Amino acid sequence: MAEHGSIFGAMLQEFDVAARILNLDPGIWRILTHPKRQIVVSCPVQMDNGEIEVFTGYRVQYNVTLGPAKGGIRYHPDVSLDEVTALAAWMTWKCAIAHIPFGGGKGGVVCDPTRMSRRELEALTRRYVAEIIDAIGPEKDVPAPDVNTDAQVMAWVMDTYSMHVGHTSTAVVTGKPVEMGGSLGRREATGRGVMIVTREAARHLGLAFEGATVAIQGFGNVGSVSADLLARAGTRVVAITDWKGGVYNAKGLDITAMLDYARQHKTIDGFPGGDSISNEDLFAMDVDVLIPAALENQVTADNAGSIRAKILIEAANGPTTPDAHKILHERGVLVVPDILANSGGVTVSYFEWVQDRYGYFWEEREVNERLERKMCEAFDDVVQTSMKYKVDLRTAAYIVAISRVGTVTKMRGMYA
């Protein structure tokens, strides 16, 4: 059972609300609230100074009822088994809502990659993969990038696994470079999905999408692609912040110029096309759509009352605390939950895995069209469920996920 204050405990709270509404069978309830498998490994690495360090790594396969476990690998000093388990559970629900044949998994290594050389990172990655090698594979568990891991790290994962099994296995991991079995459109997929659900949410509220005003926290992979695609789709992106500062322009920011500026300066702070703003200003802005796309716990009970946006799209994972969510719901703000809003990334990861197994690669147009269809279907399923049960979209998303995983768990029955 999760301890008080744990991230996994927070996931269980959200789960319980939906399970109660569904009147979920107590046995299925018990199964779905326990991780299938938690692996803890020690990874010795010879550092550049000749000393040996031992890093702790985790891989959690939360549920594999619908297919192989799917989820990223995170490198961060704060990684813990509790956090990895919660993230693996959220991946289970995210894949079920996206209606893709994957279960949920997540991995992490306790390390500070900002203080490690490229050679040390490669050595750590290869040793971590070697330690969990029996548990992963295209049919078992398919990792992907997460915080502080990228396409290069995935290339090392793929190579290490391939060397061990004796042949090239591209489908063991997603988020790889396109040259070695990655998918076109994968890099933009999460932001593209965010743009699509924003459009669908506006349509749901009867709000004009074209000309709608948008404020975004974060200008990294997700925030910058979302901003670019939303601007191209005709919305007015008026405010953006990042770790260092923020910019506001009532007429709409020039996102192409901002992308160039961010490439050069590694921040948008000081961008000449608008006035300087803080995160606090951004959250209180009178806009139609607010998109936190940076970190967890950004919308709290302290600032939820000042939010004036009609729609909040959770592009980041866990940006809204449960208390804040309650306040927003009472004030009539439509919150599109993370397990729906940012599922574009895992959906195109699924397309990458399909293409790798098929050995035939799609054009970017085809990837984007299929993503569009998948995101619209997922959004519609969650909205229909919210109307049927008269609940908010987060609870509805859990109801969709729990129903799908629970039904198949029952059909498959118990192997004992």
Residues that bind ligand NAD (CB under 6 A): 190, 217-223, 241-243, 279, 293-295, 315-317, 342, 345
Region for residue 87 given its phi and psi (left: phi exceeds 0; alpha: psi -120 to 50; beta: otherwise): alpha
Distance in Å, CB of 359 to ligand NAD, minimum = 25
| CB 35, min distance to ligand NAD, A | 20
Residue placing its CB nearer to ligand NAD in the complex, 97 or 294: 294
Q: Which is nearer to ligand NAD, 162 or 221 (CB)?
A: 221
Residue type for position 144: A
Token pair 């994962």 in the structure block, residue:
157
Whole-number minimum distance, CB 60 to ligand NAD, in Å?
Answer: 16
Would you say 56 and 42 are in contact if contact means Cβ atoms under 8 Å apart?
yes
The number of CA neighbours under 13 Å toward the Cβ of 358 is 11
| Nearer Cβ to ligand NAD (279/321) | 279
Question: Catalytic residues, which ones?
Answer: 106
Judged by beta carbon, residue 43 or residue 371, the one nearer ligand NAD is 371
Q: In what helix (H) or strand (E) does residue 151 lie, and over which residues does it extend?
A: helix 151-165
Report DSSP state, residue 179: G
* Coil, strand or helix at 183: coil
User: CB-side exposure of 38: number of CA atoms within 13 Å?
Assistant: 12
* Min dist. Cβ of residue 212 to ligand NAD (A): 21
Give the nearest residue (CB) to ligand NAD: 220
CB 37 within 8 A of CB 135: yes
Between 153 and 315, name the residue whose CB sits nearer to ligand NAD. 315
Report the C-alpha gap between 140 and 382 in whole angstroms. Answer: 28
Q: How far is the CB of 316 from ligand NAD (least distance, A)?
A: 3
Provide the CA 22 distance to its chain's centre, in angstroms: 25
